[in-house]
Structure 1
Amino acid sequence: MKRSGALGTFAALDWMLPIYARSDSLRVVTPTTQLNGDVINLTIARTPFRIDDHIATATTINGTVPGPLLRLREGQDITLNVTNHLDETSSIHWHGILLPPEMDGVPGVSFPGIEPGATFSYRFTIRQYGTYWFHSHSGGQEQAGVYAPMIIDPIEPDPVKYDREYVIMLSDWSFSSVDSMIEKLKKQPGYFNFQKRTLSDFIQDAMRDGWRPALDDYLMWARMRMDPTDLADVTGHAYTYLMNGLTPAANWTGLFRPGERIRLRFIQVGVMTFQDIRIPGLGMTVVQADGQNVQPVEVDEFRIGPAETYDVIVEPKEERAYTIFAETLDRSGFARGTLAPRPGM
């Protein structure tokens, strides 16, 4: 069965297309194209971006957040022409891809970056397969929207069998710049943490454990100059968590037929966010991690961190909607979407 489509959809069949939003008022720029071939052109530019009822400016690849899906193949000789339409230096780093150092795309390490108005051609042979992604390695451009999925198909038949697939990119969006966030964190490391322990917490600890143990515990954390609730440098106070570029209210939806084996390719592109992934009522079988096939492991939940990818197989038997829930480690926010047999569920 031929696999194709942006975000892992089967573009040739209308009923299989994901529903990006439930009304025009919630619609945001989201990838609708898949790019393949031996020569691919990409542009980096600023594009208006809607987050629910708010309009912002994203830094995009080919005008969308996430950027277009690259569908490549193992053994392919690829040329990727990246043009920078920004007023600042930019770059593209091919995360996890084996390639010559000068093609890695990290400014200041093996190349100077892509100057405003310039085009840089990345040329390399693809020596692997699996679920990967690419993103800017310049300033705060990645958080601003410069990221996109990349699926590399194997030369040999894929050992993982499935009927349908979806890419699920998890990211964090902020209306504040990366520079302003770093400035705040340098002045106060717990600036975004609104879950700090209070006097009432100390009293509860003392009533449970005794006054001396509670005091010793607090003094231990004070000597380390650490906060036991500091699980994320930046929390849901500043971040809106996105799934395939959509907020929870916009409800990204992937369609299925009951009984199908569905491959979900999770890609965590958040700058500093860890998330716990679960699909209530539906078990998952992990079949790949960071592009490498693994011995299948059945799980009800898994934790994913920045830059990690996990491929899972799910087999929904019932004709019902399932929520894909990605909650942050500190429980301050979440991204979510839906698997459903028909739109609007």
Structure 2
Amino acid sequence: MNHPLPRRALLRAGLSGAAALGAAGLFPAWARSGTPGLPPVLSGEEITLRVAHGHFSTGGRSAHAITMNGVLPAPLVRLREGQNVRIHVDNALDEDTSIHWHGLILPFHMDGVPGISFPGIRPHSRFTYEFPIKQFGTYWYHSHSGLQEQMGHYGPLVIDPAGAEPAPYDREHVIVLSDWTFEHPHKLFLKVKQKGGYFNRRKQVFGDGAMSPSEKLMWGEMRMDPTDIADINGTTYSFLLNGHGPAENWTGLFKPGERVRLRFINASAMTIFNVRIPGLPMTIVQADGTHVRPVETDEFQISVAETYDAIVTPTADQAYTLMAEAIDRSGYVRGTLAPQLGMTAAVPVLRERPTLSMRDMGMAHGSGEDESCAPEHAAMGHCTPGAPAALMDHSMRDTSLLPDTVKVGVGVDMVAPMPADRTGDRPLGLEKVPHRVLTYHQLAPLVPFPDTRPPARQVDIHLTGNMERFMWSFDGRKMNEGVEPIRFELNERVRVNLINNSMMNHPIHIHGHFFELVTGQAHGHPVKHTVNVMPGGKASFDLTADAPGDWAFHCHLLFHMHAGMMNVVKVRPMAGGAQ
């Protein structure tokens, strides 16, 4: 088990590191420790961003980065519902770039996806985004060009409501979580392409008390490893909170008794985080920029590209540790909430790493390895009544289970025999913790989705891949293989079923739209733009295709998207009858 550095060493490193980095101007004002009140931001009708080469330092090391206005993360852009904005982007790079406004409702040609909604921003040129602000909430922006996002091309975006704030607060802090690598991202991509599980250096072995010989044989026959949870992990990544590493201890100030709003944004390329503040409950008030009925919890998982807003009300004159663990427990980043700079709280020890189970293979509808064969599974010939799940006669290689709409080939080597709706499951590694853990089923919209029509039709999309060869796709087809786009009629109401045939989490994001995540709960379905589909699981959402144009639809794990897990949603007709 890994242990954090001693508290005194962390404090010394944190204060000296933060001071040095702040003095070097590497952080925008909003990301610096102890910034009081609402920090200086970019706002108004006219905003200019400059994308350029730079350097970034953390943990005593430095590497090339892509920055905006010379800082990493990028400046906080703060807008107001109802305004119009013109954002001028100057590209000082020697390659094309772009900015996608993640979660914003805008004309499709302003969405910022090269090859889909616009050509991209050419080297040493300017492009101006211009659009009305039709919403409010917590969002972010990032490059959609190559792997630039991994190199630092991301920043937060907050839109204030035109009227009363549904979740009032006394103070706020924007919390941008991300992963940083000192290697060029194309080298990382080459490594995972050349060897499956390249970064999974903590494989289970006999005698570690977690795997029996029969289980080891079963996993071996499937050419899978139960610890293969994150494609790229803490063996290579440094995890950041507002650009600060764990030892640099970003600190957000409060006065006891204040309602403090924490705007969490997962701007990582590949890392899902489990977030908690020991001793301080969090009340979730917003998910993906839309307000939800307040729900109190002690921990939540934030997948790549999701945002959550939480209200905390610290009453004691003490410090609290803000802890974000990588989903595979290969590392963490922490910050501090405190009444004044220099205060720290105990940093939790990294918890035991989780392992994948039969449920993560889409082979069991229960929650544990010891689940017995259910009658409906026996009737399908998938198991023997009374046999434990680990001994069931399942196969994740039986591609005959897939429908004809899925292209079967070398790029599809996994099939979930019995995928289940997992939107109500506790996330991986948090199944048995003693405290409260947020699930999608607990999220209820503060304002119901305006379209109450039932879906007129359903569309099944299989999330497919070959983990050994790092091939990822929708329905067995990669984006660069001339895949047929997903077509919706304008204002059509559609239910989209996402079926995860892999043992990886996939945060699926659609541009230009929000959807109702189908949870079956009486209190209503949360409204989101990104949903994490758990391994071997299913998730469904109801979409009103009310935005004409061409929109990106993809897994937001950057390297999965880069490998081909992406498609285009075409909403027609457009103005003037254009097709």
Q: Identify the residue that residue 316 of structure 2 maps to in structure 1.
A: 318
- The letter for the 1-side match of 2:15 is R
Map 1:306-345 → 2, pairs under 5 A? 306-345=304-343
> What percentage of residue pairs aligned between the two structures are identical?
54
2-structure distance, mates of 1:116, 1:239? 29
The number of residues matched between the two structures is 317
AA aligned to 2:110 is M
Q: How big is the shift at 1:229?
A: 0.4
Matched, 1:199 2:206: yes
Instruction: State the distance in 2 between where 1:297 and 1:205 align.
Output: 35
8 Å contact 1:26–1:52 — kept in the other structure?
Answer: no
- 8 Å Cα contact 2:51-2:90 kept in structure 1: yes
CA contact (8 A) 1:80 1:123 kept: yes
Cα deviations across residues 27-73 of structure 1 (Å, max 9, x unaligned)? 46111140101010100001122213112221011111111111101
Per-residue deviation, 1:112:
1.1
Match of 2:27 in 1: 30
Residue number in structure 1 paired with 2:227: 229
Deviation at 1:159, TM superposition (A): 1.0
Contact 1:84 1:115 in 2 (8 A): yes
Q: Which residue of 2 aligns with 1:45?
A: 52
**Which residue pairs with 2:81 in the alignment?**
74
Matched, 1:130 2:137: yes
Partner of 2:175: 168
Q: What does 1:193-272 correspond to in 2, within 5 Å?
A: 193-201=200-208, 204=209, 214-272=212-270
The SS at the match of 1:22 is helix
User: Which of the two has higher C-alpha Rg?
Assistant: 2
Separation in 2, partners of 1:332, 1:205: 18
Whose relative contact order is higher, 1 or 2, with alpha carbons under 8 Å and at least 6 apart? 1
Residue 179 of structure 1 aligns with which residue?
A: 186
2:67 aligned residue: 60
Between 116-125 and 27-36, the greater mean CA deviation after superposition: 27-36
Could you tell me which amino acid in structure 1 is paired with residue 268 of structure 2?
Answer: G
1:78 partner SS: strand
Q: What one-letter code is carried by the residue in structure 2 that aligns with 1:61? A: M
2:106 pairs, out of 73, 86, 99, with 99
- Unaligned runs of at least 5 residues, structure 1: 1-19, 207-213
Q: Counterparts of 1:25 and 1:37 in 2: how far apart (Å)?
A: 31
Q: How far apart, CA to CA, are the structure 2 residues paired with 1:109 and 1:220?
A: 43
Question: Would the aligned equivalents of 1:67 and 1:148 in 2 still touch at CA under 8 Å?
Answer: yes
Question: For structure 2, which runs of at least 5 residues remain unmatched after alignment?
Answer: 1-12, 30-39, 344-579
Shift of 1:21: 5.7
**1:219-247 superposed Cα distances (whole Å, 9 cap, x missing partner):** 33223322110110001001000000011
SS in 1 for 2:257: coil
Deviations 1:262-300 (A, max 9, x none): 000000011111111000110000000000100111100
> TM-score of the superposition, structure 2-length normalised?
0.54
- Report if the CA contact (8 A) 2:101-2:142 is conserved: yes
| Residues 276 and 329 in structure 1, CA contact (< 8 A), matched pair in contact too | yes
- 1:195 shift after superposition: 1.5
Instruction: Tell me the residue number matched to 1:287.
Output: 285
User: Within 2, Cα distance between the matches of 1:142 and 1:174?
Assistant: 12
**Could you tell me how far 1:118 is from its partner in structure 2?**
0.7
Q: Give secondary structure in 1 for the equivalent of 2:157.
A: strand
Q: Which amino acid aligns with 1:31?
A: P
3-state SS in 1 of match to 2:15: coil
The one-character-per-residue Cα deviations of 1:296-338 (angstroms, maximum 9, x if unpaired) are 1110000001000000000001001101000011000011100
* Structure (1 or 2) with the greater strand fraction: 1
In the alignment, which of 76, 85, 101 is matched to residue 92 of structure 2?
85
Q: CA deviation at 1:161?
A: 1.2
Q: Secondary structure at the match of 2:95?
A: coil
Q: Secondary structure at the match of 1:184?
A: helix
Q: Are the counterparts in 2 of residues 166 and 264 from structure 1 also a CA contact under 8 Å?
A: yes
Query: Larger deviation: 167-176 or 49-58?
Result: 49-58
CA contact (8 A) 1:93 1:137 kept: yes
> Structure 2 vs 1, CA of residues 157 and 91 (structure 1 numbering), >3 Å: closer, same or farther?
same
Question: In the alignment, residue 185 of structure 1 is paired with which amino acid?
Answer: V
Q: Is the 8 A contact 2:275 2:300 kept in 1?
A: yes
Do the aligned residues in 2 keep the contact of 1:26 with 1:250 (CA within 8 Å)?
Answer: no
1:26 and 1:53 in contact (8 A); partners too: no
| AA in 2 matched with 1:343 | L
In 1, Cα distance between equivalents of 2:217 and 2:177: 37
1:192-235 CA distance string (max 9 Å, x none): 1122011323xx457xxxxxxx3432233223322110110001
Conserved? CA contact 2:85–2:133, under 8 Å: yes
Counterpart code for 2:138: T
**CA distance, structure 1, for counterparts of residue 14 and residue 93 of structure 2:** 29
TM, length-normalised to structure 1: 0.89
Give the Cα separation in 1 of the matches to 2:225 and 2:154. Answer: 32
Tell whether the 8 Å contact from 2:206 to 2:213 is kept in structure 1 after alignment: no
- Answering whether residue 118 of structure 2 is matched by residue 111 of structure 1, we say yes
